[in-house]
Structure 1
Amino acid sequence: MSESSSITRIAYDTLRGDVLSCRLAPGTKIVIADICKERGFSPGAVREALSRLTSEGLIIAEPQKGFRVTPISREDLLDMTEVRANIEAQCLRRAIELGDLAWEGRIIAIYHQLARTPERAAEDASRVNDSWAKVHHQFHATLVEACDSPWLLRIREMLYAQSERYRRLSVPLAHQTRELDREHHGIMQAVLARDPDQASVLIGEHLRKTTDILLSSAVLQSSA
């Protein structure tokens, strides 16, 4: 990888992380000069990163106006939740059918790591611990990694990224009402028991809890 490609990759990873964590809030206008000054990236690297994020649906390119973070809405959340629940269930079913004992071992190992990693940031309990977020992503990815459909997995990963912004926004609203470890453990147990119906039900409930938390708050506005 060339030096310019490496810098572009770093710019992309940095901006993508800022969008998914909501450090760049939904709807925020992106000023390339400001990002270059704050992050030390070149304008070319930032533009290339924004172009990639636009293709992923995380950034919107507006003619004559530049870039902004893709807004969120109740309608988008509801639609995405149901589509994601369906795709996750399809991936789980195929993984459960095809996964071997080594796959089961990886699920148990990553669940153990997730259960031992604090969910909230030590310096701010209203924010997600970035280390937990990485392990959480790995846990859900490991559950479906035995799925034999690259397209299903690709669509699933895209939906996971899109939903991550909503999940991050739900964290300070959840208070003590969620038992995430119990939810994750239940999903894992259903998968290890090779019970696709139960696993599908539990993953759907897991995703909809985040949606319900946000819908009961004033965070989202209707796009109508």
Structure 2
Amino acid sequence: MLSAQQETAGESAYRSIRGDIIDGRLAPRSRLRLEALKEQYSASISTLRETLYRLSAEGLVRAEGQRGFEVAAVTQEEFQQLAVLRELLEGYALREAFRKGDLEWEGRVVGAHHKLQAMERMMLAGDTSRSAEWKYYDREFHHTLVSACGSAELLQAYVAIFDRYQRYQIVAVIFRGEPAAQEHGWLLDAALRRDADDAIAVLHEHISACVTHTLNTGQLSSADLDPMPLAHGASEKPTPLTSVGETVWHRIRTDIIAGKLAPGRKLKLGSLRDDYGTSVATLREVLNRLTSEGFVVAEGQRGFDVAQVSAQNVRELAELRLLVEGRALEDSFRQGDVDWEARVVAACHKLATIDADQASSDHQVAEQWTQYDWQFHQALISACGSEALMRLHNAIFDRLLRYQLIAKSYRGRVAADEHQALLDCALRRDANGALDILQQHLRGAMEQALPTAAAEV
């Protein structure tokens, strides 16, 4: 992470505005007027515009074309989606942390709970003046519980979802009193006993009760009354937002995923300015954004590098994609209708027309195969009913795709047969069978990419 001195104006504005949205200082649906933000956050209009587009991609800001920007609404539907996704990620991370955590981890967990418990006692005694501190300690406790899971990718995804979930808690001023404090105690006990099944059961109750409590406050609108733009990762890729920074971000990101900007390459601003036809200031903001996505590494005063690839990272991404896509498949198979079936059949048909054996030697075939592969997997999960889930899946998919394209790891007939098997499971609504095939599909792709990933370290 960059120090305060090393942060660009855009990165500083991004962190400040994002924090103010999550903490409720910028209220849901409030207008984000660039002139007012310029004074408040000491950033230029162009920097603020790029920052708000970035927050729009995260679902925290709503971009309305010529009408400007507003803080995203808080809706019942999104809160429920975030709750499901938080439980999925945190539950999996708890199981791994309980298995891998050592005595040092136990000490951190006990310490974090002690601070949270002290704050909860104050809240229960009627002192609500420090509710912001209570939310901080609540966050610290849950993050410490999962901190030994061993996967940087899982933790990054979890923190992003937790932040958005906690925004709802802060907006609705949620403190459920004694039941919540008791559940935190049970989670601590389960951690010390390394009883993951018990902890996951408590976590389910903890989150479900919070959702019920929040919905009962009546402070959340319905998404039907306030439709949000199509999330990145829905059944069709959205039209890119029209700003210079957004266009350059998309181009550089695409070139990194495709391997045109190789792992470890120095990203010299002068060369990038000529290659991508934009200013150095815009490039700094774009590269900081790509750093937060894991595609670029910021080296302080030394500039920026394309992120390296590694065997550990590809394993973490494959594991995370299996978790997220697996859940989306289950929901999609349960909720999909005949129109969804038709989308899946059509996407599989297009993919089946590509000779995967030619993809390793023909660049044009490889690009087409990659596009149709993405469309097929997106079609399979498109009936899951959760934009939050699809947004996360899309980000993971792109990170893993980078390994595949760098390694040119197209598995030919094997992959084609697995795609057909996934289609058959979809039409039979056989979620368990699809999960087995998906695990085999991802394991095969990962193993083919591993030699290249290991060689780059």
TM-score when normalising by structure 1 = 0.86
Q: Are 2:435 and 1:194 aligned?
A: no
Distance 1:44 1:82 in 2: 36
1:84 and 2:318 correspond = no
Q: Which has the higher contact order (CA 8 A, sep 6+)?
A: 1
Q: Is 1:207–2:404 an aligned residue pair?
A: no
Match of 1:27 among 257, 264, 267: 264
Structure 2 equivalent of residue 62 of structure 1: 299
Is the CA contact 1:170–1:210 (under 8 Å) kept in the aligned structure 2?
no
Amino acid across the alignment from 2:454: L
State the number of aligned residues. 218
Task: Kindly state the Cα deviation for residue 107 of structure 1 after the two structures are TM-superposed.
Answer: 0.7
Q: 1:130 aligns with which of 364, 367, 376?
A: 367
Q: Is the 8 A contact 1:127 1:168 kept in 2?
A: no
- Aligned residue number for residue 180 of structure 1: 415
**How far did 1:221 drift?**
4.6
Aligned counterpart for 1:154 among listed residues 366, 379, 391: 391
> Which deviations, in whole Å up to 9, do the C-alpha atoms of 1:184-214 show, x marking residues without a partner?
1111111111000001111111011011113
With 50-59 and 91-100 compared, the bigger mean Cα shift is at: 50-59
CA distance in 1, matches of 2:303, 2:364: 29
Q: CA offset at residue 61 of structure 1?
A: 1.6
Closer/same/farther in 2, CA of residues 128 and 208 from structure 1, 3 Å limit:
farther
Name the CA distance, whole Å, in 2 between partners of 1:20 and 1:63: 23
1:111 corresponds, among 333, 348, 355, to 348
Distance in 2 separating the partners of 1:128 and 1:28: 26
Alignment-mate amino acid for residue 129 of structure 1: A
Structure-2 change in CA distance of 1:61 and 1:219 (3 Å): closer
Q: CA deviation at 1:38?
A: 2.0
- The amino acid that maps onto 2:375 is Q
**Kept after mapping to 2: 8 A contact 1:26/1:72:** yes
Cross-structure match for 2:284: 47
Is the CA contact 2:354–2:365 (under 8 Å) kept in the aligned structure 1? no
Cα distance change on mapping 1:26 and 1:128 into 2, 3 Å: farther
State whether residues 121 and 128 of structure 1, in contact with CA within 8 Å, keep that contact through their aligned partners in structure 2: yes
- In 2, Cα distance between the equivalents of 1:174 and 1:5? 34
Q: Give the letter aligned to residue 20 of structure 1.
A: I
Identity percentage of aligned residues: 29
Which runs of at least 4 in structure 1 moved beyond 4 Å after TM superposition? 118-122, 173-176
Partners of 1:161 and 1:36 lie apart in 2 by: 25
Q: Which residue of 1 aligns with 2:454?
A: 220
Counterpart residue type for residue 90 of structure 1: R
- Cα offsets for 1:80-103 (capped at 9, x unmatched): 212211211111000101111101
Structure 2: 5+ residue runs without aligned partners? 1-64, 67-240
1:60 partner SS: strand
SS of the residue aligned with 2:305?
strand
CA RMSD in angstroms comes to 2.5
The structure with the greater share of residues assigned to strand is 1
TM-score by length of 2: 0.44
On the 8 A contact 1:117/1:132 being kept in 2, the answer is yes
In structure 1, how many angstroms separate the alpha carbons of the residues matched to 2:390 and 2:375? 13
Contact 1:74 1:222 in 2 (8 A): no
Q: How far apart, CA to CA, are the structure 1 residues paired with 2:286 and 2:273?
A: 12
The CA deviation string for residues 52-109 of structure 1, in whole angstroms up to 9 with x for no partner, is: 2222111122211111111111111112212211211111000101111101101111
Distance 1:188 1:11, change over 3 A: same
Q: Would the alpha carbon gap of residues 149 and 175 (structure 1) be closer, same or farther in structure 2, given more than 3 Å must change?
A: closer
Distance 1:222 1:13, change over 3 A: closer
Tell me, in whole angstroms, the C-alpha distance in 2 between the residues paired with 1:162 and 1:175.
18
Which letter does structure 2 place at the counterpart of 1:152?
L
Q: Where does structure 1 lack aligned partners over 5 or more consecutive residues?
A: none
